[in-house]
């Protein structure tokens, strides 16, 4: 038998590759030996070192910035006390306590009785002095004062000519001005 006759049953005329039964072209399988898993060490530590390094850089930067701000702050020369105060610095001397304003009820006679009938308790008004007989000019005696009471108007002859009474809540000093002006000038009100 010739060599070509022996190879004929195993080779295909269309290809030059020999035909083997399925699965026979692969090498035989072998067992993979058992080994422990591979662990990379130091990765977790590197991350902590990097974060710690950045924190140190940030702290150092803040310290340098604070030192620069202190160096650039206001300075007094030759031991004189510094009267200027840098913005953002706390107040060195205590702030004087504000005295509470004490309000009193002051009755005010308004020249126009019809205007007083428009008022009710809780309204805010300006009290204006119109001068003696309207010739002395005008001035505002009290601004934005609160009306506490509007007494009932007195009926009778000449009551409307005397004006009408209104009670306002004002500081004590303003009450003194209103009483003094009420004796020498005509008073009017303006609603706020």
Name the 3-class secondary structure at 90.
coil
Digit-coded pLDDT (tens) for 139-165: 899 999 999 999 887 776 555 567 889
- The answer on pLDDT for 105 being more than 80 is yes
Look at residue 119 in the predicted model and tell me its pLDDT: 92
Cβ contact 127:145 at 8 Å: yes
Cβ contact 175:98 at 8 Å: no
Cα 41 from Cα 39, distance rounded (Å): 6
Residue reference for tokens 């003696």:
132
Digit-coded pLDDT (tens) for 16-40: 555 556 656 666 777 888 888 877 6
Pair of tokens at residue 46: 């590197």
Look at residue 127 in the predicted model and tell me its pLDDT: 92
């Amino acid at each position: 038998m010739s060599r070509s006759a022996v190879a004929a049953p195993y080779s295909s005329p269309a290809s030059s590759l020999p035909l083997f039964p399925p699965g026979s072209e692969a090498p035989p399988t072998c067992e993979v030996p058992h080994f422990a898993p591979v662990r990379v060490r130091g990765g977790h530590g590197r991350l902590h070192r990097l974060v710690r390094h950045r924190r140190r850089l940030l702290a150092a930067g803040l310290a340098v910035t604070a030192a620069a701000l202190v160096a650039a702050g206001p300075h007094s020369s030759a031991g004189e006390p510094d009267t200027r105060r840098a913005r953002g610095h706390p107040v060195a001397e205590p702030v004087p306590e504000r005295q509470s304003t004490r309000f009193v009820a002051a009755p005010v006679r308004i020249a126009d009785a019809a205007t007083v009938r428009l008022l009710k308790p809780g309204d805010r008004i300006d009290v204006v002095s119109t001068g003696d007989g309207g010739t002395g000019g005008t001035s505002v005696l009290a601004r934005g004062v609160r009306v506490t009471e509007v007494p009932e108007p007195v009926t009778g002859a000449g009551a409307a000519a005397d004006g009408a009474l209104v009670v306002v809540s004002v500081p004590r000093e303003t009450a003194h001005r209103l009483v003094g002006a009420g004796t020498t000038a005509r008073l009017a009100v303006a609603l706020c």
